[in-house]
Amino acid sequence: MKRLVSGIQPSGTLHIGNYLGAIKQWVELQNDYDCYYFIADEHVIDTKPRPVDLRERTLETVAMLVALGVDPKNCVLFVQSQIPEHGELAWLLLSFTTLGQLTRMTQFKEKSDRHGQSVGLLGYPVLMATDILLYDAEIVPVGEDQVQHLELAREIARSFNAHAGQTFTEPKPLLTKAARIMALNDPKRKMSKSVPGSAIGLLDDEATVTATIRKAVTDSDPNSNKMSPGVENLFTILEGFSTPETATQFGDKYKDGQLKYSELKEQLIEDILAFLGPVQKTYKSLLARPDQLERIIKEGTAKARPIASAKLAIVKKNLGLLS
């Protein structure tokens, strides 16, 4: 099977947008590819999180991924900082990256206003390229907003290979058909757990889920013949959590002009709660057993590090560095 690499940052409470937009695809892809999934804890250092928070969020993210169906027996699940080769290779690859390439990155332009123009933020895409190239990833699942970063990884690989000989595989994008989930209270913006009423967290209780869905925006213009962004967003979520038959049934009602938004929302509440119940139970069970989480992380490290170490050794040899 082709090797696939993807990571997720431990940057806070995960919501249904994170699940439908990325993690659901991880669960499906692990059956078709040689998958390496990692918690990108080094990628959040530029935001300077409190050390205790970073540690807790990293463990919580591992627990949530497993609860959602990422199977450590069916993929390699590890924590980025446990593999020191990531940092060493990133330093080497900086010499094959230009300042112009980095300053053109959309993420640097967007985040520098909030977090300052740190060298860490500027060099972030090089570490991302390292995450991919270190494992000779052939496939990287990306949304349209991430294609720019993957293309930079390909350019860095090309530059290195031109200097030191064929060393890195140029990864190809797997453009996911993942749902882009928008804010429930403002469908023109992305879903965000930091904005009240915007998101449904994967750990939200029944009362919170119910209240958030019932208050969700529907029609902005009742006289329009086109489905409004709010209703379209609710249908996207419905397709992610309900059966195909249910989604089709509500779609037909909309086409026939018979759809009651209250019924759509109640169906969403029912199906989301049915999904979250067992996920939350497994998540809490894992957090209550830190030894089990640590075992998962150690086993992932034991699988990933030999590959990373061997690759770094080839890189250093090809550069002329002493072994």
Catalytic machinery residues: 111, 190, 193
Contact 191, 15 (CB under 8 A): yes
Give the closest residue to 156 by CA, choosing from 315, 14, 321, 273. Answer: 315
Contact 293, 286 (CB under 8 A): yes
Contact 184, 233 (CB under 8 A): yes
271's tokens: 């199906």
Measured over the CA atoms of residue 71, residue 73, residue 76 and residue 80, the dihedral's sign is positive
CA distances from 42 to 81, 83, 90, 141, 304 (A): 6, 11, 12, 20, 16
57's tokens: 């969020």
Element (H, E) at 3: strand 3-8
